[in-house]
Amino acid sequence: MGRKTKSKSIVNSSDQQLTSQLIDDSDWIYPQLANQSIRSLIVTLIIIYYFIYLGNYSLIVSLVSNSVKLISGRGSCSIVIPSSWSKLFHPPVNCSKCETIKEIIEVTNITSEQFESRFAYSMEPLIIRGAIKSNWKALDVFSLKFFQQLYLSTINSDHNQYRCQFFPYSTSYKSLIQALQSIPDQVNYNQSTPWYIGWSNCDPRITSILRQFYHKPQFLPINSEDSRLDWIFMGTPGYGAPMHIDNVGYPSWQAQIKGTKKWILEPPLDCYLNCKRFEVTINPGDIIVLDTNKWFHGTQIVGDELSITIGSEYD
């Protein structure tokens, strides 16, 4: 539980609107060596060789000890490398898994057996329209104000701990708390300054509150373990996450609580010629299931409502 660390990096996209929202290179990537391909190993060896060349032995010791910690699941990111390097570190994808995907399947109902046999651990994305059931109080309760009150009354500056990540995207906020303190709760989002933020919640007090308002989707495989990390993305129309690929080890689901979000999915570079690019629009009540480690993905909020989503990884 709670053992997954999400690493995201930003790469060039053919979508002009998304590329214009590049976030800076400070979004920490340290590859988890356990998952890496030969390419990662070669690059790591080159880095070590370079440090030896520079005579910087303390960095080598730090690199090796952090690798050991990361592999044993106890580590945190301490070496920051440019996020664009993540293409080098990304494990190769088996293109035969995406070349048969000609369209994104949409369903309104699916059993966990059906889901497990075709979608759960394949590369095939799935949209479940109207998946959010009426017992999800999140539909009525989640709002910008709800998250502002919840976080500002529960935590303070100690929030930036290991496993908690904050993505300011195109904003200049340094932390989630700063963002929640500063963003005005406006009704007319088309006339206010656009913003988009995302974060993982790793505070158990908040997890237990959030989970009163949503449930593990019923279609997930019965034995799958739900990550204790909730991922929340929120923002105004016109903005979204730039194209990137994750390094998390598990596929994810994301429920659209409010607003409408367009997803752009592109195959990894190795599969560019074999596999298709997709765009799909997710409406309130829908859930998207996506292996964000295998697809480059970017989002854009459309319509004129604030978008709020919650999701998690499953294994």
Ligand X SMILES: O=C(O)CCC(=O)C(=O)O
| Separation between Cα atoms, residue 213 and residue 279, nearest integer Å | 29
Interaction between residue 299 and ligand X (CB under 6 A): yes
Instruction: State how far the alpha carbon of 2 is from the alpha carbons of 6, 91, 307, in Å.
Output: 11, 23, 25
Residue 154: both structure tokens together: 């529960």
Inter-residue contact 6 to 229 (CB < 8 Å)? yes
Inter-residue contact 2 to 203 (CB < 8 Å)? no
Total residues in contact with ligand X, by rule CB under 6 A: 13
In angstroms, how far apart are the furthest CA atoms of the chain? 62
Nearest CB to ligand X, comparing residues 8 and 258 = 8
Positions of E strands within 181-304: 196-201, 230-235, 244-246, 252-258, 260-266, 278-282, 287-290, 296-302
Minimum CB separation of residue 38 from ligand X in Å reads: 25
Mask for 146-175, x = binds ligand X (CB under 6 A)? ------------------------------
Minimum CB separation of residue 307 from ligand X in Å reads: 8
Instruction: Out of 200, 201, 247, 309, point to the residue binding ligand X (CB under 6 A).
Output: 309
Interaction between residue 203 and ligand X (CB under 6 A): no
Nearest CB to ligand X, comparing residues 63 and 98 = 98
| Separation between Cα atoms, residue 215 and residue 109, nearest integer Å | 16
Neighbours of 189 (CB within 10 A): 20
Nearest CB to ligand X, comparing residues 40 and 292 = 292
Instruction: Out of 142, 195, 233, 314, point to the residue binding ligand X (CB under 6 A).
Output: 233
Beta strands 260-266 and 230-235: pairing type? Answer: unpaired
Minimum CB separation of residue 143 from ligand X in Å reads: 17
Interaction between residue 230 and ligand X (CB under 6 A): no
Residue number with the shortest CB distance to ligand X?
299
Inter-residue contact 306 to 183 (CB < 8 Å)? no
Interaction between residue 294 and ligand X (CB under 6 A): no
Per CB under 6 A, contacts with ligand X among 234-293 are: 240-241, 246, 252, 254, 292
- Which residues are near ligand X by CB under 6 A? 8, 198, 231, 233, 240-241, 246, 252, 254, 292, 297, 299, 309
